[in-house]
């Protein structure tokens, strides 16, 4: 039973990271109907930049903020320079561009930093917390992960639900043409949306690095797990990304714990298949429009 709780706590912490990257996918997909395959790699690149700055003696928290800002810039520039010119053309074009970008980001990181795995510092201790005489499989850093992700999710919720900027962004995402007819500067808001997704991707990279084998490819599997999370949640719902992330994290943790870590990717694939067969539109998909 102790193992079960250990795997559960581990699943929640990892699930929060998947939820963060899933949120990035949701933000972009619901606005542009594009799956940004390079989102994980962009998070990896900003984390490597953070690694460089920390190695040069910068304080962790300064680096943390700078990395999120670089993530925003990468997202915004990607949309403005590479994605925007593809509007109205074949749907395959952005797929090819984002896969190309994934290769470029990983190649760039490999060329600059090398392909070997290394350690990335954690903001807090990674030793399990003690409750009475028992040490649980949940560290101070895991608490930080949960808090950081919940803060990001709450900030996004406040932005989208309670601000006029969020209302404009949602309108631009749901119906670009009507939003434009109502005077909304949709192009600018789409760039902002990609920038926010870049922040979420960078946060996922920073949170995953200390617990992963930190190399130019460490976000690849995390992207697959996050994509699974986003699909489970409905691909258009930020809340769905959070719930899907936790479900993915738990399932993958149980598979890794009970069946062996080598089966984790297969576990994610099985989960994705079950989710697609049981509820292809996702848990938090929008209700269908009323037929009149």
Partner 1 sequence: MLEVRELSVSFGAVRALRSVSFEAEPGAITAVLGANGAGKTTLLRTISGLVKPTAGSVSFDGGSLVGRSVESIARLGVAHVPEGRGVIEELTVEENLRLATLWCLKRGERQAAIEEILEMFPRLQGFRRRHASTLSGGERQMLVLGRALISKPRLMLLDEPSLGLAPLITAQLMAMLQEQTDGKDITVVLVEQNARSALSVSHHAVILNLGQVVVSDSAAHVSADDDLRHHYLGF
Residues lying near partner 1 in the complex (CB under 8 A) are found at 164, 167-168, 170-171, 174-175, 177-186, 286-290, 292
- Provide the minimum distance between the beta carbon of 189 and partner 1 in the complex, in angstroms, as a whole number: 11
CA-CA distance, 164 to 162, in Å (whole number)? 7
Tokens of 230: 């986003």
Specify the residue, 1 or 289, whose C-beta has the smaller distance to partner 1: 289
Specify the residue, 93 or 175, whose C-beta has the smaller distance to partner 1: 175
DSSP secondary structure, 104-165, as one string:
HHHHHHHHHH-SS-B----SS--SEEEETTEEEEEEHHHHHHHHHHHHHHHHHHHHHHHSHH
Q: Cα 84 to the chain's mean position, in Å?
A: 22
State the first-to-last Cα distance of the chain, in angstroms, to the nearest integer: 53
Specify the residue, 262 or 287, whose C-beta has the smaller distance to partner 1: 287
Sign of the Cα torsion 231, 271, 226, 59 reads positive
CA-CA distance, 211 to 219, in Å (whole number)? 12
- Provide the minimum distance between the beta carbon of 287 and partner 1 in the complex, in angstroms, as a whole number: 7
- Provide the minimum distance between the beta carbon of 39 and partner 1 in the complex, in angstroms, as a whole number: 23
CA atoms within 13 A on the CB side of 20: 30
- Provide the minimum distance between the beta carbon of 240 and partner 1 in the complex, in angstroms, as a whole number: 14
- Provide the minimum distance between the beta carbon of 27 and partner 1 in the complex, in angstroms, as a whole number: 15
Sign of the Cα torsion 84, 220, 61, 143 reads positive
Q: Which helix (H) or strand (E) holds 214?
A: none
Specify the residue, 82 or 167, whose C-beta has the smaller distance to partner 1: 167
Specify the residue, 79 or 212, whose C-beta has the smaller distance to partner 1: 79
- Provide the minimum distance between the beta carbon of 78 and partner 1 in the complex, in angstroms, as a whole number: 23
Specify the residue, 31 or 207, whose C-beta has the smaller distance to partner 1: 31
């Amino acid at each position: 039973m102790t193992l079960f709780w250990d795997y559960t706590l581990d699943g929640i912490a990892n699930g929060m990271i998947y939820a963060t990257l899933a949120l990035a996918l949701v933000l972009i997909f619901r606005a542009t109907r594009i799956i940004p395959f390079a989102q994980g790699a962009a998070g990896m690149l900003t984390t490597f930049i953070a690694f460089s700055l920390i190695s040069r003696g910068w304080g962790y928290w300064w680096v943390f903020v700078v990395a999120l800002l670089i993530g925003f810039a990468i997202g915004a520039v990607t949309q403005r320079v590479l994605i925007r010119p593809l509007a109205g053309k074949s749907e395959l074009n952005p797929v090819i561009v984002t896969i190309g970008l994934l290769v470029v980001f990983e190649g760039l990181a490999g060329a600059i930093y090398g392909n070997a795995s290394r350690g990335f510092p954690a903001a807090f201790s990674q030793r399990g917390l003690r409750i009475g005489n028992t040490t649980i499989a949940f560290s101070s850093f895991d608490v930080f992960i949960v808090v950081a992700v919940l803060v990001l999710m709450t900030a996004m919720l406040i932005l989208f639900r309670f601000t006029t900027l969020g209302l404009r962004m949602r309108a631009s995402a749901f119906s670009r043409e009507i939003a434009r007819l109502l005077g909304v500067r949709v192009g600018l808001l789409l760039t902002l949306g990609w920038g926010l997704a870049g922040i979420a991707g960078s946060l996922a990279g920073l949170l995953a690095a200390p617990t992963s084998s930190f190399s130019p490819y460490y976000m690849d599997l995390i992207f697959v797990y996050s994509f699974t999370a986003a699909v489970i949640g409905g691909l258009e719902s930020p809340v769905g990304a959070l719930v899907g992330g936790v479900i993915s994290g738990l399932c993958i943790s149980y598979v890794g714990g009970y069946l062996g870590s080598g089966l984790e990717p297969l576990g994610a694939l099985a989960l994705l298949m079950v989710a697609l067969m049981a509820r292809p539109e996702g848990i938090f998909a929008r209700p269908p429009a009323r037929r009149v």
